Structure formats: C-alpha cells, structure tokens
Structure 1
C-alpha cells in the first residue's frame, strides 16, 4: 500500500468507493485507508436503520417507494437504456421496462439518501471519493451524492494496461486539454516516448477475415449501450443509425469504399437488418490494427480506435464528442454535410507536432499505468497526482489566454 500518499500535510485521507465488482482490486492497494459502501438493497436499508433508527429508516423506505419520478430518473436512465439495447424483446415491453425503471429509481432514492448523510460526516480535506464511470446506477448515485467533495472518476485507459483517473470525468467529459496551443506551449510531452501497443479486439467468431485493398475508409462500430454513444454522441444514436449514415456517405462519395468492424463486445449484428451496399463491407473477422494501418482514414463516433489511428499518423474524422476533438488533430463530421466535406479532404493529415505532443501528454502524464485487475501499487499517489496535474494544466491554459 502507498501509505505516504494517504495523507496531505499530515491529514489522513480516506478513499471511499462502492462495492462495484470492476474496481474491487482497488481495495487491495488502498488497504487501511479505504471505505467500501455496500449497495445491495438490504445493506442500504440496514445501514439506514443503524444510523437513523428504525422509524426514520422506514420513513426513508416509504419515501423511496412513493418517490417522484423526475427526482431520480436521471440516475437510472442509463440502466434502463442499456437493458432496452441489449434485450430489446424483453425490455421493449412497456410494462417490464416501467417496472424495472421503478425498481431502479427506488434503489437510487434509498442509496442517495444514505450516501448524502454518510458523506456529510467527512470534512472536505479528509475524503476522496472514487467513482467508476459514473453514468449508471449505482455509481451515478455516488457521483451525485459526492458533488462538493474531492473525487476522481476511473475508467479503462486509451491504450492497453492504462487507466483514466480524472477529477473531472472520463472519456469526452475528462480534463484532457482541447486547446491545441497547450500542446505547443514549450514542454516536450513526447520526450518520454509514445505508446507502441494498441488494443486488438477479439474478432466475432462467426466471421472470417476478408481481403481488402488498401485505401478504404475504416468505420469501427461501438457498443451502443456504452456511455460513449448514449451520452457523448448527439448525432449517431445507435449502430443501425450509424450504418445508415455510412451508406448515405457511400452514395455521396462514389470513389470511397467503407469497411465496418462491429464491436466484439456487442452480440447483436447490424448485418441483415439493412439492404447491403456494394461499397460498404463488413470485416468483423479482421484485426483492428491492420484495418487501421491499411485505411486512408478512420471515421469514428469517439472510439479509442481514433486515438490508435492517430498513433499511426492517420486522418481521423469524429462524429461525436471526444477528448481528441482538437483543431488540426482531427476533422469533425458531426452531421452529413460536415462528414462529406471531411471525406473530400483526401490529402489532409493531422499536424504532426500536435499529434506527437497530444499522444505524449496522454501516455506520459495523463494515463495511469495499470488495470482494474492489476492496479498500480502506488494507486493512492496516482490519485493525488491527478489533482496536481489538473491544477497545473488549468494554470497553463489560463496563462495562454492572458
């Protein structure tokens, strides 16, 4: 355990997190300075009874059952949407969907009530709240309850063996500077080297690799229930819609061939749901890094594949919100007109200095080396470092604006 980092100027720091399975191994490296809140309905009711007494706990239960929908719906919308996307036949039923939504809102009401009162016992400088992602219940409740406290959001990093640990948010909501001038302000962020490995996602087993002539437009599909699509994609609503956009682009750009690879984590395929197009091909059995390497451009909503493509110096066109939406680094295609205009810029490439500096900042400063299964032993220090980095970056950008 990183004991030295668990205090600031002699003040002991407690790291508080939920019992979310994905980050359970954080407990091992934050031992003695971590509080894990159990989120099962029984645990929350029991803790409320111990803290408030039986009468007030029963009153809280009654309030949760009779809750006002609008007070808690925003905490559970992601859960309901994810069920509808993953199990459309079951949760397309309005009765089942409404019942599930009510149960989640009731749970959210109870947990929020407990967490707000529990967190109130801590001083601001005694606690750091660790939120995994924060977009779905129960982590969305922790994100809401911990407003006003020091906290970090954690998620997978953009390269293998890395994590995002950020005091502002993750993915498109993170603190990575979007100001190109920041990366050209003097410091050599790439001095420590650049990443060499990319994530080669496992191919869908029912597909075999297809032969492709180089120079195509590579379109990596994403998991439609992921927050990258549900929260950070104002234009593209799901992968069926994305396919329709690609076909439209193929019709308006007859010189282009578009190659789609569906995300292996999402089991429902677009193939067969729409009429095929002769210049829109699927390559679900191909290796992602080879598809990037052989593409002339990568069109993505906001996938990490876009960052991997930048690593190879490729042209990248983004359709959604992302932390790498930086002028001269990527092209924006957030509506049909802009997408077609970006595709017409066949010779455009990212500014090479900006590209190296951005990737160097991610690799050498922003991302934490480690994973959810093997978090860094100095995790406490890495968490504290992210606050220092955020403050330093804000100061540098403020100086640029003066």
Structure 2
C-alpha cells in the first residue's frame, strides 16, 4: 500500500513541528520521512559541504532574512556568524542527502519557507525537480494554508477579480469571530473609542511580511510617520486608532501621544476596533481579510496576496494614501466580490483547523491540497 502513497520529505524546524508532521504523515495518510532541521543526524557530510560551496553565490539571499532580523534585534549578523549559518546548512543538507538517497521524495513539505535552512533545502528540491508544499497560518479564523508556490504575497492565489466573481459559493458558513491573541506584556485598560476613526493595526516588525513584502514601509515607526503625514487628509472629526501587535517583542511607548489625532488602543478588542471603524489600513496583514469578513473596507500599503482589484484599495506611497483618505466612505467595497472571495478561501483553498486541535477534516483536506500540488493543478 505504501508504494501508492506520495513520498513526502517533511522538514520540521522545531520539536512541535516534528510532532505535527508525524501526525500529518500518519493521518493524511502519506509515506515519507520527518527530518528535524536542528537535529538531522549524520549523513553525507563531504557531499553537503561541497554542495554549499558550489552554491555559495546563493548564500547572501538565503541568509538575508536571518541577517536582517539579527540587525534589527541587535544580535549577531556579521561574517563569522554567516559562516556559522552556512555550516549549519551543510549539516542539514548531509541529512537531506542521506534520506533522499534512500528514497527520492515526491514533495518537500515546509512551514513558512523563509528560514535560511528552508531556503537552502527548497533550492535543492527545485533543482532536483521535487515539488514544494508551503504550510502557513490561514487567512480566516481557525484555518491553514497549503500552497505549491509560496506563502503570503508569493502564494498561488489568483489575483484577478474575475476568477472570484465566477466562483459559485457552495454555502459553507464562515466563522467571523476572530481568534484573540493575548498580549506578551500588560497593556492597561481599553479606551473609549471615538465616533469616527480609521483602524490601523501594527504588525510584527521583524516578520517576513515587513522585511520581504513591504516595499516602502519597513518599520512601525515609519508607519506612524506616514499616519502623521496623511492624517490631515481626513475630515477634522476623524482620527487614526492604532493597536500594536499583541505578540510583537517590541512596543512603541514613545509614539503614544505624539500626535493628537493618532490614538493608541492596545487593550481594546481587535474585532471591536474593526467593526466600529470607518475602514482599516494595513500593510499586508491577515487583519485585512478579517476586516472584509467583518464588513469594513480595507486599504493596503504593502504587497498582499489579496491586493485584488475591487476587493481592497491600495496605496504605494503617501500621495496615493492621502487621496484615498479624503473619502473613507467611498472606498472600494464590493459585497458580492467579497462574498465570493471568502467562499473560495473557505471552500476550495484553505484547510479547516489548526494543530493541535482539529477534526478529521484537517488531514483529509491537507491530503487533497497536497495531491493538487503534486498534480500541478492551477487555480
């Protein structure tokens, strides 16, 4: 029976991912092997070192996200540190070569895919003609994504509104109750919200969404500065309400109170902040899709997979944002397009459930998506 199952190389980045992938392997079901990137075991060391040397021109790109995070967090990022990362890649590749010689995988399975070790293994897999499946948190509550092209802006979601308009919803009910994320540190008491405001959720400053997919806003300080420069485009009775990301390691007390029309509401419930707003501005967070689900128009400032004509408004610079803010009530909001878009996400694209609490539908839908990726099905 195992010969009829796809052979999957699961690359886990932690013990928790390792447990998750072992469960998926058994329950989808698929054949394959789970390798922990931190503990890959011994393997083809000489071959791996030679492979890394031959691919040394790719190292700056593979290591860039990790190096940028080190710089942002005042951590290690210099030449000797990067040499150490390259040696860690070689150690992992030795294990990858060991397993691939035992049996060639049909597909590589990773969570996220932007870690420097993952980038190296993905490059190897693509060079060998092995498909890649990228797992990530889903864009609707209690869902996951499994995509054959990438995550976030790099994923394979269609970008033409006509695709979604032609999709016929099957009637699946989507849960619009957002998952609450407890803050890392105490945030005080909720504030009384103004009558007219635009909601602006901050994002994690060193996440791939900011470091890779945000061309003109590279920090939350810069986002606050953009709000200061554009707030006068709003009616005089309208303000920005900002909420810092609850799980970010960095907070921004120095920005609070810097401008009278930019108010911070870190203790307020995100769903309430969305529902009572005139509109939502986000760089490229999933809060944008959640806001559409809750009936609010959205302006994106970065590269988002849902930058789809008619679905959201988009600004590539301060001037374009000012023009959009002059009439928040006139922002693009197509009820029918949103309904079809959300239906396609829930019924055809996303996998319902999240590890470790899920129903049997989770591995079943995961296997269905995996098979689609293996066949090369395009949306």
TM-score, normalisation: structure 2: 0.87
- Which blocks of at least 5 consecutive residues in structure 1 are unaligned? 50-55, 396-402
2:43 corresponds to which of 43, 47, 64: 47
1:288 corresponds to which of 258, 270, 282: 270
Cα deviation code 1:49-68 (max 9, x no counterpart): 5xxxxxx36xx54886x788
Report deviation, 1:171: 1.5
Q: Would you say 1:197 and 2:197 are equivalent positions?
A: no
- Correspondence for 1:28: 23
Query: For the residues of structure 2 that align with 1:287 and 1:33, how far apart are their CA atoms?
Result: 43
- Correspondence for 2:10: 17
Query: For the residues of structure 1 that align with 2:372 and 2:333, how far apart are their CA atoms?
Result: 26
Report deviation, 1:196: 2.2
2:85 corresponds to which of 74, 82, 104: 104
Q: Would you say 1:163 and 2:144 are equivalent positions?
A: yes
Query: For the residues of structure 1 that align with 2:239 and 2:267, how far apart are their CA atoms?
Result: 18
Name whichever of 381-390 and 194-203 sits farther off. Answer: 381-390
Q: Would you say 1:79 and 2:70 are equivalent positions?
A: no
- Which blocks of at least 5 consecutive residues in structure 2 are unaligned? none
- Correspondence for 1:52: none
Query: For the residues of structure 1 that align with 2:170 and 2:200, how far apart are their CA atoms?
Result: 28
Q: Would you say 1:257 and 2:210 are equivalent positions?
A: no
Aligned length: 368
Report deviation, 1:237: 0.6
Cα deviation code 1:322-373 (max 9, x no counterpart): 1211111100012111111111232224111001000111112111012132
- Correspondence for 1:53: none
Compared CA separation, residues 16 and 388, structure 1 to 2 (3 A): closer
Compared CA separation, residues 383 and 146, structure 1 to 2 (3 A): farther
Compared CA separation, residues 76 and 343, structure 1 to 2 (3 A): same
Report deviation, 1:239: 0.9
Compared CA separation, residues 207 and 193, structure 1 to 2 (3 A): same
Is the CA contact (8 Å cut-off) linking 2:300 and 2:315 kept in structure 1? yes
After the TM superposition, list the runs of 4 or more consecutive aligned residues in structure 1 that deviate by more than 6 angstroms. 390-393
2:347 corresponds to which of 350, 357, 364: 364
TM-score, normalisation: structure 1: 0.82
Query: For the residues of structure 1 that align with 2:55 and 2:148, how far apart are their CA atoms?
Result: 31
Cα deviation code 1:172-208 (max 9, x no counterpart): 11122111111122x4225222332212332451332
Compared CA separation, residues 252 and 351, structure 1 to 2 (3 A): closer
1:272 corresponds to which of 247, 254, 259: 254
Please state whether the residue corresponding to 1:184 is helix, strand or coil. Answer: helix
Please state whether the residue corresponding to 1:327 is helix, strand or coil. Answer: coil
RMSD: 2.8
Query: For the residues of structure 2 that align with 1:131 and 1:177, how far apart are their CA atoms?
Result: 22
Name whichever of 160-169 and 12-21 sits farther off. Answer: 12-21
